[in-house]
Amino acid sequence: MVHLRFKPLWLYVDAVREFCSFFARATFDDREVGQRVGLVVHELVENAIRYGNDAELELRVEHWESELGVVVANTTTEERADELGRIFRILHEMDPENAYVDAVKASASRPAGLSGIGLARVRHEGRVSLELAREPGRVTVTARGPL
Protein backbone atom coordinates (compact mmCIF):
# COMPACT_ATOMS: atom_id res chain seq x y z
CA MET A 1 0.00 0.00 0.00
CA VAL A 2 2.55 2.64 1.16
CA HIS A 3 6.31 2.12 1.51
CA LEU A 4 8.59 5.01 2.47
CA ARG A 5 12.29 5.15 3.35
CA PHE A 6 13.68 8.39 4.65
CA LYS A 7 16.20 10.01 6.92
CA PRO A 8 14.53 10.22 10.33
CA LEU A 9 14.04 13.96 10.73
CA TRP A 10 11.53 15.62 13.07
CA LEU A 11 10.22 17.85 10.32
CA TYR A 12 8.84 14.78 8.52
CA VAL A 13 6.67 13.45 11.39
CA ASP A 14 3.54 15.52 10.74
CA ALA A 15 3.83 15.31 6.95
CA VAL A 16 4.17 11.51 7.00
CA ARG A 17 1.28 11.18 9.47
CA GLU A 18 -0.98 13.38 7.36
CA PHE A 19 -0.08 11.58 4.13
CA CYS A 20 -0.69 8.09 5.58
CA SER A 21 -3.89 9.19 7.32
CA PHE A 22 -5.26 10.73 4.13
CA PHE A 23 -4.21 7.75 2.04
CA ALA A 24 -5.91 5.24 4.39
CA ARG A 25 -9.04 7.39 4.64
CA ALA A 26 -9.28 7.66 0.85
CA THR A 27 -8.43 3.99 0.22
CA PHE A 28 -11.01 2.60 2.63
CA ASP A 29 -13.50 5.48 2.45
CA ASP A 30 -13.45 5.55 6.24
CA ARG A 31 -12.47 8.59 8.30
CA GLU A 32 -12.00 6.60 11.51
CA VAL A 33 -9.55 4.21 9.83
CA GLY A 34 -7.63 7.22 8.54
CA GLN A 35 -7.45 8.72 12.03
CA ARG A 36 -6.24 5.45 13.58
CA VAL A 37 -3.57 5.01 10.89
CA GLY A 38 -2.47 8.61 11.44
CA LEU A 39 -2.16 8.08 15.21
CA VAL A 40 -0.20 4.83 14.85
CA VAL A 41 2.13 6.25 12.19
CA HIS A 42 2.76 9.41 14.21
CA GLU A 43 3.63 7.60 17.43
CA LEU A 44 5.78 4.89 15.84
CA VAL A 45 7.70 7.30 13.60
CA GLU A 46 8.21 9.70 16.50
CA ASN A 47 9.59 6.86 18.66
CA ALA A 48 11.85 5.67 15.84
CA ILE A 49 13.30 9.16 15.49
CA ARG A 50 13.66 9.72 19.23
CA TYR A 51 15.29 6.36 19.97
CA GLY A 52 16.96 5.51 16.65
CA ASN A 53 20.42 6.45 15.48
CA ASP A 54 19.52 8.79 12.59
CA ALA A 55 20.62 6.45 9.79
CA GLU A 56 17.36 5.41 8.10
CA LEU A 57 13.72 4.88 8.86
CA GLU A 58 11.46 2.57 6.87
CA LEU A 59 7.66 2.87 7.07
CA ARG A 60 5.07 0.60 5.50
CA VAL A 61 1.30 0.81 5.72
CA GLU A 62 -0.10 -2.54 4.63
CA HIS A 63 -3.46 -4.21 4.13
CA TRP A 64 -3.95 -7.91 4.90
CA GLU A 65 -7.51 -9.11 4.20
CA SER A 66 -9.50 -7.57 7.08
CA GLU A 67 -6.47 -6.12 8.89
CA LEU A 68 -4.42 -3.01 8.48
CA GLY A 69 -0.80 -2.81 9.54
CA VAL A 70 1.81 -0.16 10.15
CA VAL A 71 5.42 -1.34 10.13
CA VAL A 72 8.27 0.92 11.21
CA ALA A 73 11.88 -0.25 11.09
CA ASN A 74 14.93 1.73 12.10
CA THR A 75 18.52 1.34 13.14
CA THR A 76 19.33 1.73 16.81
CA THR A 77 21.81 0.77 19.50
CA GLU A 78 21.62 -2.58 21.29
CA GLU A 79 21.01 -0.72 24.56
CA ARG A 80 17.95 1.05 23.14
CA ALA A 81 16.72 -2.17 21.51
CA ASP A 82 16.98 -3.90 24.91
CA GLU A 83 14.97 -1.09 26.51
CA LEU A 84 12.30 -1.39 23.83
CA GLY A 85 12.13 -5.14 24.48
CA ARG A 86 11.59 -4.44 28.19
CA ILE A 87 8.80 -1.96 27.39
CA PHE A 88 7.11 -4.51 25.11
CA ARG A 89 7.21 -7.18 27.85
CA ILE A 90 5.59 -4.79 30.33
CA LEU A 91 2.94 -3.69 27.81
CA HIS A 92 1.98 -7.26 26.98
CA GLU A 93 1.52 -8.19 30.63
CA MET A 94 -1.50 -5.87 30.79
CA ASP A 95 -4.62 -5.36 28.76
CA PRO A 96 -4.43 -2.29 26.45
CA GLU A 97 -6.69 -0.01 28.52
CA ASN A 98 -4.95 -0.62 31.85
CA ALA A 99 -1.51 -0.31 30.25
CA TYR A 100 -2.57 3.07 28.82
CA VAL A 101 -4.00 4.31 32.12
CA ASP A 102 -0.84 3.28 33.97
CA ALA A 103 1.35 4.96 31.33
CA VAL A 104 -0.63 8.20 31.60
CA LYS A 105 -0.29 8.18 35.40
CA ALA A 106 3.45 7.49 35.20
CA SER A 107 3.94 10.27 32.64
CA ALA A 108 3.27 12.93 35.27
CA SER A 109 6.68 12.29 36.82
CA ARG A 110 8.66 12.24 33.55
CA PRO A 111 10.42 15.13 31.81
CA ALA A 112 8.51 17.05 29.14
CA GLY A 113 8.65 15.32 25.76
CA LEU A 114 9.34 11.90 27.31
CA SER A 115 5.89 10.89 28.52
CA GLY A 116 6.32 7.18 27.85
CA ILE A 117 2.71 6.77 26.76
CA GLY A 118 3.27 6.35 23.00
CA LEU A 119 3.19 2.57 22.62
CA ALA A 120 0.44 2.13 25.22
CA ARG A 121 -1.58 4.82 23.42
CA VAL A 122 -1.03 3.15 20.04
CA ARG A 123 -2.19 -0.17 21.40
CA HIS A 124 -5.29 1.24 23.14
CA GLU A 125 -6.50 4.11 20.94
CA GLY A 126 -5.26 2.58 17.68
CA ARG A 127 -6.90 -0.75 18.63
CA VAL A 128 -3.86 -2.68 17.42
CA SER A 129 -1.57 -5.41 18.61
CA LEU A 130 2.14 -4.64 18.66
CA GLU A 131 5.00 -6.92 17.69
CA LEU A 132 8.72 -6.30 18.03
CA ALA A 133 11.37 -7.92 15.86
CA ARG A 134 15.09 -7.41 16.42
CA GLU A 135 18.17 -7.87 14.32
CA PRO A 136 21.63 -6.62 15.28
CA GLY A 137 21.42 -2.81 15.24
CA ARG A 138 17.84 -2.75 13.91
CA VAL A 139 14.32 -2.96 15.35
CA THR A 140 11.00 -3.39 13.59
CA VAL A 141 7.70 -2.56 15.25
CA THR A 142 4.54 -3.89 13.63
CA ALA A 143 1.09 -2.66 14.61
CA ARG A 144 -1.85 -4.75 13.35
CA GLY A 145 -5.54 -4.14 13.80
CA PRO A 146 -8.93 -4.53 12.21
CA LEU A 147 -10.13 -2.19 9.50
Domain boundaries of the chain, sorted by first residue: 2-146
Residues 125, 100 contacting (CB under 8 angstroms): yes
Note the pTM of the prediction, 2 decimals.
0.91
Q: b/e for 70-103, b at 16 or more Cβ within 10 A? A: bbbbbbbeeebbeebeebbeebeeeebeebbebb
pLDDT greater than 90 at residue 107:
no
Residue 75 host element (H or E): strand 67-75
pLDDT greater than 90 at residue 110:
no
pLDDT in tens, 44-97: 999 999 889 888 999 999 998 889 999 999 999 999 999 999 989 988 898 988
| pLDDT confidence of residue 125 | 92
- CATH class as words, domain 2-146: alpha beta
